[in-house]
Amino acid sequence: MITTVLFSSGKISFNLPREMVAPAIAQSGSHVWADFSKPDNDEIAMLDEVFHFHPLAIGNCLAAGAAPHVMNLDDCVFVSLAIFDYDARQKKMLSYPLHLFIGGQHLITVHRDDLPVLGEAFEIIKQNPAATLGAGADFAAYTILGLVADHYVALLETIGDRIDKNEEHVYSAKAHDVSLELFKLKKEILFLRRTIAPLRDGVLRLTREDISVISPKVKIYFHDIHERLYRICETIDTFKDIVLSTQDLQLSLISHKTNQIVKTLTVITTVIMPLTLLSGIYGMNVRHLPPELEWRHGFYTILGAMGVIALISLAIFKKKKWF
């Protein structure tokens, strides 16, 4: 499905017929945003036949799992990025590709999933068309990229909350459930870093290179996008360090608990050893103990001695703070 927005002669029009898209782009002073949502084969063919985009860029739109990047194709700029969403029910990070073709008078977006970011951009342009799409296709692209950056910030807030909860659980009885969640968090954070960092670097190139389809007055706005993406990457790196530190802390706590258990078992074994020695020497199965003295109350005397030895051992261990 193709959704179009045309700004021409100070007026905005929506949903142009497919055959009117090419003439609208060719019209001097007009600016067009065409959104290709879940495009079929005929609509994909328009990218080549009507807009004459580079086959490599079109191939990236069709490829599943294409890496985010920015390409300067002389007559247009191709931007490939990803929108993320955290599914709390499945406890899984979801990724949705979005592709932008930024031309002199047209902005083309291609995607196969419903993206709320584009709906927000549509409303912004609808409310103030002259200051957005009317300012050029490059400024309309900046509007979308700005909303994408805002989306990344909101996602990082969610990740930050998850990290805080797991830090609390490390000290609680739920510590055994934290290992898997920390591993998932680290994996998601690294995936975000690999996805957003190329976009940040690509936007930086757009601000430095001489690109005909991006006007000098709009480049300052792309500088703003780069700075926001840079801060986002810095936050991601900070989250990665926090997760790694939390994992180290959890391993230290597990090791400490293991040492405490071993120490307790050692105390029990050390206390029982002399008692076992005494009972083994005298057998405890004769009428009078010890046999060489034949005390009538020898059995009870030896039991008392064993108790005294146990208490002395426990007192020594307590003084050394072994338990």
What's the token pair of residue 204?
């930086």
List all residues 6 or more positions away from 199 whose beta carbon is below 8 Å from its beta carbon: 68, 69, 70, 79, 81, 229
> Residues spanned by CATH 3.30.460.20 within the chain?
2-253
| Interval 70-81: pLDDT, tens | 888 878 888 889
pLDDT the model gives residue 289:
52
User: Is residue 286 scored above 70 in pLDDT?
Assistant: no
Secondary structure (3-state) at 213 = coil
| Interval 188-239: pLDDT, tens | 899 899 989 999 999 898 888 888 888 888 889 999 999 999 999 999 999 8
| Interval 98-155: pLDDT, tens | 999 988 888 889 988 888 898 899 889 888 888 888 888 889 999 999 999 999 999 9
| Interval 142-163: pLDDT, tens | 999 999 999 999 999 988 888 8
User: Is residue 257 scored above 80 in pLDDT?
Assistant: no
pLDDT the model gives residue 297:
61
The CATH architecture assigned to 2-253 reads: 2-Layer Sandwich (3.30)
| Rounded distance between C-alpha atoms, residue 187 and residue 189, angstroms | 6
Beta strand 31-37 with 106-111 is parallel
Average pLDDT on 57-77 reads 81
More confident residue, 202 or 253: 202
Give, as one character, the DSSP assignment of residue 111.
Answer: E
H or E segment and range at residue 301? helix 298-319
H or E segment and range at residue 225? helix 216-282
pLDDT the model gives residue 224:
92
The DSSP bridge partners found for residue 32 are 6, 106
Report CA 182 to chain centroid distance, whole Å: 11
| Interval 167-179: pLDDT, tens | 777 776 555 667 7
Question: Inter-axis angle of helices 137-170 and 175-208, to 10 degrees?
Answer: 160
| Rounded distance between C-alpha atoms, residue 310 and residue 277, angstroms | 12
| Rounded distance between C-alpha atoms, residue 219 and residue 284, angstroms | 95
| Rounded distance between C-alpha atoms, residue 257 and residue 87, angstroms | 34
Question: Inter-axis angle of helices 55-62 and 41-49, to 10 degrees?
Answer: 160
What's the token pair of residue 298?
């020898």
pLDDT the model gives residue 287:
56
Q: What is the pTM of this model?
A: 0.77
Q: Which residue has the tokens 């549509």?
A: 122
The three state secondary structure string of 44-109 is HHHHHHCCCCCHHHHHHHHCCCCCCEEEECCCEEEEEEEEEEEECCCCEEEEEEEEEEEECCEEEE
**Long-range Cβ contact pairs of 224-228 (< 8 A, separation 24 or more):** 224/146, 225/142, 225/145, 225/146, 225/149, 226/200, 228/146, 228/149, 228/153
pLDDT the model gives residue 145:
93
| Interval 5-34: pLDDT, tens | 777 777 777 777 777 777 777 677 788 888
